[in-house]
Chains A and B, each alone.
Chain A
Amino acid sequence: MLLLSLFWEFFKTGLFAIGGGMATVPFLFRMGENTGWFNASMLADMIAVSESTPGPIGVNMATYVGFTVASIPGAIVATLGLVTPSVIIILIISVFLSNFKDYPVVKTVLTVLRALVIGLLLYAFYQIATIALVDVKTYVMFAVFVVLALWQKKVHPIFWILLGAVLGLLLL
């Protein structure tokens, strides 16, 4: 039963998270709240691990959440749940709609969805920030990271995450 609801929760996430990678994060916050499987601070750690390991972030997140909820079977079921809707949709597009992305209706809906993802992600940021930023020291660290990440565009996120770990050990 638990595996079935894991599959269903990730199926919904896979179906509605459009734009890849980070787009799954807002849905996972809500999933944690609704099911009680994990809290926001655990999710923040999962995001860090998913960004620092090989493979697509969304897939890594699903595996991690699934493993936390129901061990190895959970990891497999959650990941399959996440990819099932996109496999079905891509197959339909491959067979019937070769010029899918050029339809005017698709373009209009996408313009709206791209803007929406900004708002959804901003709320996900707000949820993590409430946990991570607790005093002046953490606010200053946050500001420094934002400036560094904006300035050094080519540096891989894994570097900032490792730096965060080192600073956490030394300063927090």
Chain B
Amino acid sequence: MTRRLFNPLLVVAAGMFAAAPILVALAPNEVTMGLVAKIVYFHVPVWFMMFLGVFICGIASGVYLFKDKQSADRLAVSAAELAVLFGLMGLTTGPLWARVSWGLWWPWDVRTTLALILELNFVAYLLLRKYGGPGSEKLAAGLALFGMFNVPFVYVSVNVWRTLHPETTVVPTLPGPMAGPFWWCVIAYLALFLVMLSGRRRLEEQRAIVDRLRLAHER
């Protein structure tokens, strides 16, 4: 994303993000779960963004592994950090919803367990990048590919196995008054994700320049 798009996108993201609570407040309550079901307007979009971060990290890691492109590696580490951030948002909003709806904080069912494992996978990626030493970039890239291939299992788990978690048919069948705020929040989170990714990637580029200058100085 070019620098020219960054500022307009930041304004759009901030505006949409600020308007989201108003739209959510005006949306009707869900029939069986009541007020607490409004967590869906944040909980589901953050998991969409987590999956997006995982896919970007995985694909960029693949490009880095097979084509040795440093720019792909910088994109991968940026996306991994965002995947962990949005995953953390999902893993905190989910139990808050579950406590009221299901009566327990964490059910250890298939969906929640696989989602936790996916999050830990990318926490491991970041730890490997930070503390793994020389050559850890390639190792971490392999880990990112493994994480990316887990996403379909996380997504379809609710349809294949018996679980407390709602199935994937819920979002496509949301009624109009709920679908509008929901998709608004998805687009707001997408704009926020792109702004964060752009900023984080720029940070990696600056760090790469600092490293090159340090090497030139040492010579």
Partners in one complex: no
Taking beta carbons and an 8 Å cutoff, which residues of B are in contact with A?
Answer: none
Taking beta carbons and an 8 Å cutoff, which residues of A are in contact with B?
Answer: none
